[in-house]
A and B are shown apart, each in its own frame.
Chain A
Amino acid sequence: MIRFDDVHKAFGANQVLRGVTLEVPQGTSMVIIGGSGTGKSVLLKSVLGLVTPDSGAITVGGKPAMAGDRDAFLARFGMLFQGAALFDSLPVWQNVAFRLLRGSLKRPKVEAREIAIEKLRRVGLTPDVADRFPAELSGGMQKRVGLARAIAAEPEIIFFDEPTTGLDPIMAGVINDLIREIVVEMGATAMTITHDMTSVRAIADRIAMLHGGKIRWTGPVTDMDASGDPYLDQFIHGRAEGPIEAVR
């Protein structure tokens, strides 16, 4: 279980998180929604120590995040970055198998390659992609390689930052199913950021809406349509008029 307790973060004068309190129960799929630039990516990064909160606490399984053995802590996570963040000096399969080629989860090279190719297949990529370099792939393909890398070592907690952005509707459907499968079959805890309402409904057990640096609304996805919250309603129906200003 991941708990955020009154988390604050500012970049200079830019107050991004202003007291985020949220609980993500173990084995659930939590989807974070919210306007562009509201700090969704920052929220995920703060769990992994890539961004250090100014105040507040983040705990994972009851223990403070980043306390103790950092490598062991990070080995429990997989993360898909918004921009894929593939290593462009390495071929695709070595990107996917990065964790399996070094460190505590190291496997023989042949085995690591097999796992990489299997994960690539799961994100809808053929084995011939394995030996290409990230710069030779389209944006959507890079995104899927990033996804394969995030799940390669079968982590117990997975963060997906906009997994379906830039994908065609069919591929988006494949990825939505995959994320759902990972949560249901592997019992993983997932936090997904997405702007795609179809994805939200396909992936989420619970959703949380970030607005104004705080969690505006959180609850089961089944309650989303009848929340009665004008902010959430405006967001999920994509209306220009409402309490959320269109110019931010």
Chain B
Amino acid sequence: MGRLLGGIGARVLAVLAMVGRVSIYAGQVLRHLLTPPFYGREFLSALMNIGWLSLPVVGLTAVFTGGALALQIYAGGSRFDAAAVVPQIVAIGMVRELGPVLVGLMIAARVTSSIAAEIATMKVTEQIDALVTLSTHPMKYLTVPRVLAGLVTVPVLVGIGDVIGIFGGYQVAVRSLGFNSATYLQNTIDFLEPLDVISSLVKGAAFGVIATVMGCYFGMNSGRGAQGVGQATKSSVEAASVLILAANFVLTGVFFSA
């Protein structure tokens, strides 16, 4: 019993210690973000990788989710006024929760893993050491451009995901459930509040930062060898996913519980 509790305690302490280290790391990122030099080319290539190249997967995720949502609500909600309820729930569900969370998780899968694997490989092959000897701070050259790109592109991706998700629901509702197209759109627009959209974008920004910081943190702290790279990649995606879901819970509370 004592050993069991001790084990749990040690685990909790380890997690807390990691939270501390990640927070310190995030603080350093912020400091380097605000001091020159700034590597514009690295930033542009990060924008390309994180934003543009994520569009297909974000679009597909959103369109299927919006469609499934419409089907599900119609099936379960036929007792209500479906013409009003389906568009409302699709819009609210996509914009407030599913859009940001699913895009965030897709970014964790796609971007966090690739950042962690790339940086960890650079570490293992001494490329990080080489950067340092060439008077270039790895934090400024590798981390800052990626985190900044996450901060600006993920909200945009979430916005696009929201729209595509609503569009997916609309397609299903109009084409296979026989809804009236104009009424569906009107209901969607009437029901959505500015706060819904704002919360969606703020969540996107937070998730973008979480996903990129986790990738960089675990990459930079990778162990040695191929095993170290694998471990870093796995841990980064786990940590990013859990943190995104936790942050989503907190942000939902902040925006909607009052």
Output the nearest chain A residue to B124 by Cβ-Cβ distance: A83
B127 interface neighbour in A45, A74, A85, Cβ under 8 Å: A85
Shortest C-beta distance, A109 to chain B (Å), equals 12
Most buried by A among B37, B126, B130: B130
CB contact list, A48-86 vs B, under 8 A: 48-50, 70-71, 74-75, 77-79, 81-83, 85-86
Q: In angstroms, how far is the closest chain B Cβ from the Cβ of A138? A: 16
A81 and B126 contacting across the interface, CB-CB below 8 Å:
yes
B37, B129, B134, B136: which contacts A45 (Cβ < 8 A)?
B129
Cross-chain contact of A87 among B37, B39, B127 (Cβ < 8 A)? B127
Residue B75 lies at the interface, judged by CB distance under 8 Å to chain A: no
Give the B interface residue count (CB, 8 A).
14
Structural contact, A104 and B126, CB atoms closer than 8 A:
no
Which residues of A lie under 8 Å from residue B37 when comparing CB positions? 102-103
| Interface residue from A48, A78, A104 paired with B132 (Cβ < 8 Å) | A48
Name the one of A81, A82, A85, A104 contacting B135, with C-beta atoms under 8 angstroms.
A104
Establish whether residues A103 and B136, one from each chain, have CB atoms under 8 Å apart when the complex forms: yes
Docked complex: B142-171 residues within 8 A CB-CB of A: none
Distance, CA A87 to CA B42, complexed state (A): 13
Is B23's CB within 8 Å of the partner chain A? no
User: How many angstroms between the C-alpha atoms of A202 and B133 in the bound complex?
Assistant: 27
Tell me how far the C-beta of A232 lies from the nearest C-beta in chain B, rounded to whole angstroms: 29
Name which residue of chain A comes closest to B133, CB basis: A79
A89 to chain B, nearest CB (A): 8
- Are B39 and A102 in contact, with the CB atoms below 8 A? yes
Residue of B nearest to A78 (CB): B133
- Is B125 an interface residue, CB under 8 A from the partner? yes
Complex contacts, A78 vs chain B, CB 8 Å: 133
Give the complex CA separation of A78 and B136 in angstroms.
13
Bound CA span A228–B14, Å:
54
Given the complex, which residues of B lie within 8 Å of A77, measured CB to CB? 133
Of the candidates B37, B126, B135, B136, the one having the most CB atoms from chain A within 10 angstroms of its own CB is B135
A194 to B130, CA, bound (A): 19
A103 CB contacts on chain B under 8 angstroms: 37, 135-136
With both beta carbons as reference points, the residue of chain A lying nearest to B127 in the complex is identified as A85
Chain A min CB distance to B42 (Å):
9
Which single residue of chain B is at the shortest CB-CB distance from A48? Answer: B133
**With A102-B37, A102-B39, A103-B37 given, is the CB distance from A50 to B135 under 8 Å?**
no
Complex: how many Å from CA A85 to CA B127?
A: 5
Contacting residues, chain A, for B132 (C-beta < 8 A): 48-50, 74
Is residue A160 within 8 Å, beta carbon to beta carbon, of the partner chain? no
| Closest A residue, CB atoms, query B129 | A50
| Min CB gap B227→A, angstroms | 17
Query: In the assembled complex, which residues on chain A have CB atoms less than 8 Å from the CB atom of B125?
Result: 83, 85
| Known pairs A102-B37, A102-B39, A103-B37; A74 contacts B126 (CB<8 A) | no
Q: Which of B126, B127, B131, B135 contacts A71 (CB 8 A)?
A: B135
- A85-B39 in contact (CB<8A): no
A195 at the interface (CB under 8 A from B): no
Residues of A within 8 A of B39 (CB): 102
Chain B residues engaging chain A, CB cutoff 8 angstroms: 37, 39, 122, 125-127, 129-136
**Chain A residues proximal to chain B, CB less than 8 Å:** 45, 48-50, 70-71, 74-75, 77-79, 81-83, 85-88, 98-99, 102-104, 149
Told that A81-B130, A102-B37 touch, could you supply 14 new A-B pairs with CB distance under 8 A?
A: A48-B132, A48-B133, A71-B135, A74-B133, A79-B133, A81-B129, A83-B125, A85-B126, A87-B130, A99-B134, A99-B135, A103-B135, A103-B136, A104-B135
